[in-house]
Amino acid sequence: MQRLSLSVDRSVSPTSYRHDACACGECDLLIPATELAEGESLACSRCGHLQSRHLPHSRVRPLAFGLATLVMFVLCNSFTFMAFSSHGLGREMTFLQTITTLVDAGYLFLAVVLSVTLIGFPLVYIGSVMLVVWRLDKSLHPHAMRSLGRLLCRIRPWLMVDVFLIGVLISLVKLMGMADVSMGLGFWAFVGYSIMLVLTISSLDTHWLWQQLFGHVEVALPEQGAVTAREAGLVGCHICGALNQEGENRCQRCGDHLHSRKPGGLQRTLALLITSAILYIPANIYPIMDTVFLGDDSPSTILGGVVLLWALGSYPIAAVIFIASVMVPLAKLIALFWLCWQVGAGKAHSPLAKLKLYRLTEFVGRWSMIDVFVVAILAGLIRLDNLMTIYPGPAAVSFAGVVIITMVAAMTFDPRLIWDLQEGEQKLE
């Protein structure tokens, strides 16, 4: 079997670079090598999936934004995040206390979720970006570089700092009707932390990074006949985008495991969806938080919180909570079940419309975590001895499980299966 050649050439023009031939990760279409000028992007001609962007100042911007992110993170943990006062009693909360309060209350699963998505993964991502980009022209063990590069690609969907910020704003609206609330310097530093993290992510193109680290993968595409990588006997790496010969176990550029289609087929996705559907029931039946006021315990479900916000006149916030916490998880479950049924039943019509539905479900899934973050903020802040205290309810754990498992289910679904059906029908014709 002939291996593809890997040529390392880091003498790339600052105003242009050649993007290697690749296979679209969403429809498997072969895309020839393309020269990209600064500011240009490359998208699949069949499904429109973005393959790469040649961003200006590709090396300086990630380092600058990454450093600013770390500075903002230190500042948001050095000052008061929020302050709450009612009937002469008050409490101040730091950012880290939203997590430590959950630990004290025995909700270790929720504490781990917040720790990982708000602190652990973001700091690992920023540190890895800065180290890899800084060492582009210097010697670093190739196995370490490959491990860091793969880590960057895998943890990116789990960075939820921006979602938490929206949860803080919703919590602020809820608290305004109960007592006086003030935002400390830590909150404004957290806003900067969120913005800088988003800018760091958007300033780095991973395909460009892999080519800078380990050079080009030279491959000759068939002049006619084969349209997809599978038809040409090639496999596109889902981490670095390099094309490899079918039958290779690992990508020759990034070292990740190769598979023409995601392993497990529809069975893995369906198993995760069924688990999410089961958890969705207690997530909406049981209280998501308990409010104790002067000894009176008032549990509140997700829908109960929406109704309360609506009654208080906070119509936009009630709508956001209802859509993000009720409609989006349910719609995502239905959409993924429908896509699995369409693929399993061999329905080949409208592949692009199905792909757009899949992209939508994958994009909105993480925003359902807003309600969990709201509960964590309220539980961390409102602890006024015997006057008023808020505790997370059992539904918070179930709902966090629904969000996480549906996100994993969307990741395990392979959208290329949608296009395989259409190609099969075309061959029969």
Across 385-400, b (16+ Cβ under 10 Å) vs e yields eebbbbbbbbbbbbbb
- For residues 154 and 100, state if they share a domain: yes
Mean pLDDT along residues 355-375: 86
Q: Which range of residues forms the domain containing residue 50?
A: 5-57+206-245
- For residues 395 and 354, state if they share a domain: yes
Q: What is the DSSP string of 26-46?
A: TT-BEE--EEEETT-EEE-TT
pTM score of the predicted model: 0.84
Domain count, the chain: 2
pLDDT number for residue 336: 92
Q: What is the pLDDT of residues 290-307, one digit of tens each?
A: 776 666 666 778 787 778
- For residues 87 and 41, state if they share a domain: no
Assess whether pLDDT exceeds 50 at residue 428. no
Specify which of 52-56, 96-100, 189-193, 377-381 reaches the highest per-range mean pLDDT. Answer: 189-193
The residue with greater pLDDT, 156 or 175, is: 156
8-22, 97-111, 216-230, 249-263: which range is least confident on average? Answer: 8-22
Mean pLDDT along residues 190-217: 88
What confidence category does residue 209 fall into, taking pLDDT thresholds of 50, 70 and 90? confident
- Residue finishing a domain among 219, 245, 271: 245
Q: What is the mean pLDDT of the chain?
A: 82
Nearest of 70, 36, 66 to residue 53 by alpha carbon: 36
Contact (CB, 8 A) for 298 and 306: no
Mean pLDDT along residues 377-404: 78
- For residues 271 and 371, state if they share a domain: yes
Q: How many residues does the chain have?
A: 429
- For residues 268 and 298, state if they share a domain: yes
What confidence category does residue 15 fall into, taking pLDDT thresholds of 50, 70 and 90? low
Nearest of 6, 171, 25, 18 to residue 84 by alpha carbon: 171
- For residues 175 and 96, state if they share a domain: yes
Assess whether pLDDT exceeds 70 at residue 33. yes
Mean pLDDT along residues 118-141: 84
The fraction of the chain above a pLDDT of 70, given in percent, is: 86
What confidence category does residue 22 fall into, taking pLDDT thresholds of 50, 70 and 90? confident
Task: Find how far residue 40's CA is from the centre of its chain.
Answer: 24
